[in-house]
């Protein structure tokens, strides 16, 4: 299991990949970039670029994402409120995107702008797994401050290139302690459907009971149907 590995050993392994034709993309401050088939390290708080989406793609290789310190990823508060820029995690079968969380990772909308959420879109037909280390330091929050926008986590039933029909990724959360995952104010977790096909997807809590995910006041579980 991933959470039984030594965290710093994983970091060294990722860095060793960087010397063998693999890159490690580093996010820090206002430096957030898209990449395909590369690993990511989040180094402290980050703000998304102005009026841009971020793409994490696993089309030809597994992708591993982790963080070195507590981190908050926040929407850019200068974005147009009518355009919801977000982080797109796209994965093709048989590959897996693993978000390994040994510290506190939070997502929040635009600072001082309650109507500007940060959106996370999960797409494709591969696997996306959120793995929280067995530690009191490991927490995952989709939330908002009193004056910020919230967070929207969407699994999409959609078609991404090179797929020719709508599908969804297999999304799982591996957690070990109650309350390790929290959905806060003005935040949503749910599905977006982009066609008239029947929805065929699943979100699992592997080996654990659902009470370990906490929904705060004003948090929602949602299904959104989007017609072409």
Q: How far is CA 32 from CA 13, 72, 112, 171, in A?
A: 22, 13, 21, 24
pLDDT at 206: 43
Burial 69-107 (b: 16+ CB within 10 A, else e): eebbbbbbbebeeeebbbbbbbbbeebbbbbbbbbebbb
pLDDT at 53: 94
Q: How far is CA 60 from CA 30, 55, 172, 184, in A?
A: 28, 15, 21, 35
Q: What is the pTM of this model?
A: 0.83
Q: Starting at the edge strand that comes first in sequence, how are the strands of the sheet with 35-36 ordered? A: 35-36, 54-58, 86-91, 118-124, 151-157, 188-193, 220-225
Q: What is the pLDDT of residues 12-38, one digit of tens each?
A: 455 444 333 357 999 999 999 999 999
Residues in CB range of 121: below 8 A, 6 or more apart: 86, 87, 88, 89, 154, 156, 192
pLDDT at 227: 56
pLDDT at 7: 52
- Listed as ranges, residues in the chain with pLDDT below 50 are 1-5, 8, 12, 15-21, 199-202, 204-210, 228
pLDDT at 176: 86
CB 129 within 8 A of CB 97: yes
Q: What is residue 210's three-state secondary structure?
A: helix
pLDDT at 22: 59
Token duo for residue 154: 């969407």
Domain chopping of the chain, boundaries: 2-225
pLDDT at 192: 86
């Amino acid at each position: 299991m991933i959470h039984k590995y030594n965290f710093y050993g994983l970091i060294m392994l990722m860095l060793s990949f960087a010397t063998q034709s693999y890159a490690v993309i580093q996010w820090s401050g206002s430096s957030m970039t898209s990449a395909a088939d590369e690993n990511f390290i989040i180094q402290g708080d980050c703000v998304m670029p102005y009026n841009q989406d971020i793409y994490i793609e696993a089309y030809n290789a597994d992708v591993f994402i982790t963080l070195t310190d507590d981190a908050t990823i926040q929407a850019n508060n200068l974005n147009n409120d009518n355009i919801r820029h977000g982080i797109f995690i796209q994965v093709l079968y048989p590959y897996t995107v693993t978000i390994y969380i040994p510290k506190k990772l939070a997502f929040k909308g635009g600072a001082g702008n309650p109507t500007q959420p940060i959106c996370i879109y999960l797409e494709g037909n591969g696997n996306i797994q959120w793995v929280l280390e067995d530690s009191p330091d490991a927490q995952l929050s989709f939330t908002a401050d009193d004056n910020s926008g919230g967070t929207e986590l969407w699994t999409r039933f959609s078609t991404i290139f090179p797929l020719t029909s709508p599908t969804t990724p297999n999304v799982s959360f591996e957690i070990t302690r109650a309350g390790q995952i929290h959905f806060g104010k003005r935040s949503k977790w749910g599905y977006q459907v982009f066609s008239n096909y029947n929805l065929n997807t699943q979100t699992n809590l592997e080996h654990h009971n659902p009470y370990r995910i906490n929904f705060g006041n004003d948090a929602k579980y949602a299904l959104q149907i989007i017609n072409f």
